[in-house]
Structure 1
Amino acid sequence: MDTMRERFAAIVSRLLDEDPRLAVVLAEIGKDGFADAARAHPDRVINVGIREQLLVGVGGGLALTGMRPILHTFASFLIERPFEQIKLDFGHQGMGGVLVSAAGSYDWPAGGYTHMAPGDVALLDTLDGWTVHVPGHPDEAETLLRDAAAAGDDSVYVRLSAHANSAPRDIAPGRFLTVRKGRDGVVIAVGPMLDNVLAAVEGLDVTVLYATTVRPFDERTLRAATAAGAGAGTGAAGAGAAGTGAGTGAAADVVIVEPYLAGTSTGAVNDTLADRPHRVLGLGIPRRELRRYGTIDEHLAGQGLDPASLRERIAGFLRR
């Protein structure tokens, strides 16, 4: 299976042939994947070198001319380092583009903390109007990249990762996918966390929603899932309290498992369910820094995102 980054280079290279409005801007990282595209479209594949602020500034300038820029580098260099340029050159100027990251929260542990960006989505949340896609498989990355490239003048962030689920799902951009239904709570698995979540909740009577687009947040699907669970009246919160149970009075229990900073989307869950009783647990990367290199799997375990740790935390939350 190819990686999400390999799929990104192949798909966007083809899209450059099909759409003269597209342009790719690189900051050295990923240039080899676009070697053929650069020869075919030397005016629309631009490598600015290791200058990430310039990367975003050039993208914003291209957008001002009516182009649809696609910017790519590691997440820490694409979102964190040039954040002021994102805020001004895209947001303040009202321009749109596609930011495509790699390396995620800790995809390359040997690169150290400079190459890790667990706070990228939370940082983008301080800006208005960004769509955020978090694919969990290369096939899903292709679907979301094609959608982002064709999305008019919207601002879109596509968060690619070396961490992937074993199989793709039939996703629709902007919507959560219902993977399984249950009555004791709702667990939202974001992007590459799906496999670990499914292993963690095996045997638990919970609904699992799969999110590959987290902004805008799919309020409609979450409300429908929590209403169905509350109506059954068998949830942990509803079964143990007087006056709850079957019907709309039962509280909703929601766990969201994200491959970046823990709690990034708990506010979105709270806003979605503001008119009804609910509890929410946000699982993800804690703020403490793991200072050993290790592997992706070791970082997942160290952050409590392996199946065994997730099961303990999810089951404990639902029992309370």
Structure 2
Amino acid sequence: MRNAFADELTKLGGEDPRVVMLSGDIGNRLFDKFKAANGDRFFNCGVAEQNMMGVAAGLAMSGMRPIAYTITPFVTTRCLEQIRTDVCYHDVPVIIVSVGAGLAYAGLGPSHHACEDIAFLRTLPGMTVICPGDAWEVRAALRAALAHDGPCYIRMGKKGEPTVHSDVPTGFEIGKALPVRDGSEVCLLSTGNMLPEAMDAAERLTAAGRSTAVVSFHTVKPLDDAYLKKAFAGFDLVATLEEHSVIGGLGSAVAEWLIDTETAPGRFLRIGTPDRFYKQAGEQEYARDQLGLTGVQIAQRVQDKLARRDHP
């Protein structure tokens, strides 16, 4: 995802002279092409993320379109006050891009894990939260964020994630769900880098006789109200999938939506990380297996939920 981001950023930098790149002391080689073409619009802000967010807000107030980038917990949790007060309070178009969301940096321990950031940022007034499902969605999300007149958070994985789309998806819009696979009984609403696991789970469920749709719910705020109404009216089970805590993420947002709209929930399942720090040693694939976030485990949880419906 980060390579796609750097490549799309370079293209956007050439198209729009307002684009300014701020880095929290990472990705220096990653942005070599951007720097070669736009050296006066790249700033390494060092390990001073709070200051970087203030600089971004100031640039946005001056008519520029700053993009602030670093590892997820350091560009969100570490500078939450500056995002709230400098960016959101002034409602300026700063694009915050995080790399390594969820458990992408699982091997580096809880200091580098990010399973709370969606919860933090979606509570901030005016903030838009986008979680692309693969590298192609990253490209579309960056362009959509640049066209958006307000604060925007883009939550990426790291590198080497499987691609689900074969090109930049057509019809990518902020706040509009992106159907990826058709189905009639189960609907998997996936956000962020869980999309490949959702596709794997859908294949397994369909093979087991449970026709399963997959939707990239890339925008957690604002939610796609129209698609949610359609999903809960038409499917036997709707499940949210996220590499984020079950508290405060997409699943929580949808649960809140159900209450606020007085929609009959039918069967609803939230799948995410548990309410605890993940302290075991291992990389992302191992961490997902330990936390029940693989395609096999997702398919089994859906089957179990449907079985309880069929045999109460």
Whether 1:77 and 2:74 are equivalent positions in the alignment is: yes
For residue 182 of structure 1, the aligned residue among 175, 181, 184 is 184
- Bigger RCO of structures 1 and 2 (CA < 8 A, at least 6 apart): 2
> Counterpart of 2:26 in 1: which secondary structure?
coil
- One-letter code of the match for 1:193? M
Per-residue deviation, 1:270: 3.1
Q: How many residues align?
A: 293
> Counterpart of 1:59 in 2: which secondary structure?
helix
Taking the aligned partners of 1:198 and 1:41, their CA distance within structure 2 comes to 38
Whether 1:277 and 2:278 are equivalent positions in the alignment is: no
Runs of 4 or more consecutive aligned structure 1 residues displaced over 6 Å after TM superposition: none
Equivalent residue for 2:276? 288
- One-letter code of the match for 1:21? R
Per-residue deviation, 1:39: 4.2
Equivalent residue for 1:45? 42
- One-letter code of the match for 1:213? T
Equivalent residue for 1:27? 24
Whether 1:195 and 2:183 are equivalent positions in the alignment is: no
Equivalent residue for 2:242? 258
Query: What's the CA shift string for 1:68-102, capped at 9, x where partnerless?
Result: 11010000100010000000110112212101110
Whether 1:299 and 2:283 are equivalent positions in the alignment is: no
8 A contact 1:136–1:164 mirrored in 2:
no
Identity between Structure 1 and Structure 2 (%): 30
Equivalent residue for 1:239? none
* Aligned CA distance change for structure 1 residues 137 and 42 (closer, same or farther; 3 Å): same
Structural RMSD (CA): 1.9
TM-score when scaled to structure 2?
0.87
- One-letter code of the match for 2:191? V
* Aligned CA distance change for structure 1 residues 222 and 56 (closer, same or farther; 3 Å): same
TM-score when scaled to structure 1?
0.85
- Look at both structures and tell me which one has the larger radius of gyration over its CA atoms: 1
Which sections of structure 1, spanning at least 5 residues, go unmatched? 230-234, 236-252
Taking the aligned partners of 2:257 and 2:103, their CA distance within structure 1 comes to 30
Per-residue deviation, 1:17: 1.8
Which sections of structure 2, spanning at least 5 residues, go unmatched? none
Per-residue deviation, 1:283: 0.8
* Aligned CA distance change for structure 1 residues 275 and 89 (closer, same or farther; 3 Å): same
Taking the aligned partners of 2:173 and 2:244, their CA distance within structure 1 comes to 20
1:159-238 alignment to 2 at 5 Å?
A: 159-162=155-158, 164-168=161-165, 170=169, 172-174=172-174, 175-178=176-179, 179-183=181-185, 185-201=186-202, 202-203=205-206, 204-229=210-235, 235=236
